[in-house]
Structure formats: structure tokens, C-alpha cells
Amino acid sequence: MPINYYIFLAIALFSIGVVGVLTRRNAIIIFMCIELMLNSVNLLLVAFSKMHHLAAGATPTTGIDGQLFVFFIMVVAAAEVSVGLAIIVMMYRNIHSVDVNFLNRLKH
């Protein structure tokens, strides 16, 4: 399968993520959109890693670093999710809402 397909899919996923972050006000959906963007990048990394590995003149380790990054991102994303969800839960307890438009205290 040509690399282009992967790229277009990743772009589509990423754009959905961006638009979701910008337009939705529910914190949980925003959170999911962020995950979508991260995963679109993961997809790309894996796809390129595979592509380089199959290319002529490749050594057994070619493209392996791309997959390494994917693992990193997944670990970081998992950590982020746990912290982020905890924050959202605390937020809901305090103001009984997960609408980000209520949250403009960063101004102060």
C-alpha cells in the first residue's frame, strides 16, 4: 500500500482532532480530540518506519527509531490521560460542569 494513503488518513484524523479541539466545549470531547491528534501522528510514524525498513539498502535497524517514538508517545499520552481525567473529574466536582468556556480563570 503506497505511503500516500497513510498520510491522507493521518491528515484527516489530525484535522478532525484540531477542529474538535477548537469547536467543542466539552472538556472530555476535547480530550478525546487531542488523543486523536496524537494517534494520527503515531500512525504516520509507524507508516514511515515501515516504509524506510522496506526500502532498498536498509539494515535491520533502519526505521526502528520511528516505532520507538510511538511507544514514547503512547506512554506520555497514557500519563496525560490519567492526570487530565483526574483534573476534569475535580473540575466537575467543583463547578458541576465540564464546559471549558466557564474556565477563564487563567486570565487572572
Partner 1 sequence: MKNALQLAYLIPLFPLLGFLLNGLGRKYFSKSLIGTIGSGAILASFAVSLWVFFQVKSGNTHVAHYFNFISVGDLKIPFAFQIDQLSSLFLLIITGIGFLIHLYSTAYMHDEKPEHFGRYFAYLNLFVFSMLLLVMGANFVIMFIGWEGVGLCSYLLIGFWFRKEEYNKAASKAFIMNRIGDLAFLIALFWLINKTGTVTFLEVFSAESLSKLSDRDITVITALLFVGATGKSAQIPLYTWLPDAMAGPTPVSALIHAATMVTAGIYMIARSNVLYSMAPAVMTVIAIVGLATALLAATIALKQNDIKKVLAYSTVSQLGYMFLALGTGSYVAAVFHVMTHAFFKALMFLGSGSVIHAMGGEQDIRKMGGLSKYMKITNITFLVGCLAIAGIPGLSGFFSKDEILAGAFATSPVFYAIGLFTALLTAFYMFRLYATTFRGSFRGTHEQEHHLHESPAAMTIPLIVLAVLSIVGGYVGVPEFIAAGAHSLKDFLYPVFEPSYKILQEHHVSHETEWGLTIGSTIAILAVVIYAWTRFSKKPDLAEPQGLGKVLANKWYVDEIYDAVIVKPLNKLGALLNNIVETKVIDGIVNGVGRLVNYGGRQLRWVQSGQVGLYVLLMVLSMIVIFVLQFFFRK
Q: How far apart are CA 93 and CA 6, in angstroms?
A: 41
| C-beta of 23 vs 82, nearer to partner 1 | 23
Please list every residue from 64 through 103 that binds partner 1, using CB under 8 A: 100-101, 103
Q: How far is the CB of 71 from partner 1 (least distance, A)?
A: 25
| Cα-based torsion angle of the residue sequence 28, 30, 36, 37 in order, rounded to the nearest 10 degrees | -150
Q: How far is the CB of 50 from partner 1 (least distance, A)?
A: 25
Please list every residue from 5 through 44 that binds partner 1, using CB under 8 A: 18, 21-22, 25
Residues that bind partner 1 (CB under 8 A): 18, 21-22, 25, 100-101, 103-108
